[in-house]
Structure 1
Amino acid sequence: MALDKVVKDIIDSARREAGALIERAEEEKKAILGESEEQISKMRKAQEKELEDTLKRLRRQEISSAELEAKKIVLNKKKEILDRTFEEALSELSAMPSNDKTRVYRKCIDAAKTVIPRPNVYCPRGDSALLNGVQGLGTINETDIEAGLILENEDGSVRLDYRFRNILEGIWEQELKEVSEILFG
């Protein structure tokens, strides 16, 4: 029977050791699972933060893009209004009454005479009568040009363009900021 007791003691000892091993394995398993859960939680939080940051960045980009597009639309509309205003001003200049146009033509000729003493004059068809009585001119030629005058010296080497479009463009460029302020505040 002593052998049975030894066998029983060995089996009991093995069971205790197995129980202790199983208990330690369970504790290690809990620790590993705890660490894994902690790592998973950290990874999840990091991914959520990265996703949130990405979404914020995308929102900012979309807002910036939309604001830029809105500014483009506003600027294009402002340009259309400015262009239309320019064309309306040019139309009004071109359609001004004859006595006003004569006065403007004479001022252009007086200004040109400081550069060209006896200019040849090119004017729109039907406008040569407005220059009757102006002293110190070369030839007066009616041609197909926009309202205004082109003045040229005898040999054609100096030419001054006083067409209303060119005059208005010069003024327009100088005064564009003020015109924009008046139109758009």
Structure 2
Amino acid sequence: MGLEAVVGDIKEKGRKEAAEIQAQTAAEVTSILEEAQEKVAAIKQAAEDDVQREVTRIVNQEVSAANLAVKRETLNAEKDTLARVHASTLARITDQPADFHAQALRYLLPLAAADIGGGTVYCNARDVSIVKEILAENADLSGFSLGNPVEIEGGVVVESADGRMKVDYSYRTFMETVWESGLKDASDILFP
């Protein structure tokens, strides 16, 4: 074999090795690029997932805040309505005819006498004359005297002679008792 044949063999072998190295390099480059693309896709997906979670969290937070604001406004409106109903009811009771108030006082004063043996009866200015009349005509109420008028819608407040005990039979007190016990029922009726 001649020198040229050996050189040709070496060149051929070099070309084959170069081709193999280039093929391996191309395969490695392709593999590295595929891995990089997979990592990029995974990073991109993770970022998209994070963004979607954050968007969902923010939307949920805003919806919750809006629902809370609506509920607060609704409750405030309901509270305002109930306060107006309360005031209106008390005003309507106060505006009843004189015979209504007289009948109420004829009922309330003996109750007070049962609770307190004697003392001072306080009522509003409108009811002074009827309270005087009731005290004068009822012997069971002889231990009571009429005090100065007080700012109440109706009914009486009675204080014991020694000042240690007070019984509040004013319309407002009765109304508050009924109101507290019936508030949930009233709310359910007004705001189904």
Query: What TM-score do the two structures reach when normalised by structure 2?
Result: 0.85
Question: Which letter maps to 2:148?
Answer: E
**Greater mean deviation of Cα atoms: 5-14 or 170-179:** 5-14
Report the CA distance between 1:8 and its aligned residue. 4.8
Structure ranking higher on relative contact order (CA contacts 8 Å, 6+ apart): 2
Q: Is the 8 A contact 1:122 1:141 kept in 2?
A: yes
Report the CA distance between 1:9 and its aligned residue. 4.1
Aligned residues: percent identity?
28
**What is the aligned partner in structure 2 of residue 157 from structure 1?**
164
> Where in structure 2 are there 5+ consecutive unaligned residues?
none
Equivalent residue runs for 1:55-134 within 5 Å:
55-131=55-131, 132-134=133-135
1:147 equivalent to 2:153? Answer yes
Report the CA distance between 1:89 and its aligned residue. 1.0
Q: Alignment partner of 1:145: what SS?
A: coil
**What is the aligned partner in structure 1 of residue 17 from structure 2?**
17
1:35 equivalent to 2:42? Answer no
Question: Which letter maps to 1:140?
Answer: L
| Cα distance in 1, alignment partners of residues 90 and 126 from structure 2 | 18
> Where in structure 1 are there 5+ consecutive unaligned residues?
none
Report the CA distance between 1:57 and its aligned residue. 2.8
Report the CA distance between 1:65 and its aligned residue. 2.0
Q: Is the 8 A contact 2:119 2:160 kept in 1?
A: yes
Q: Is the 8 A contact 2:106 2:134 kept in 1?
A: no
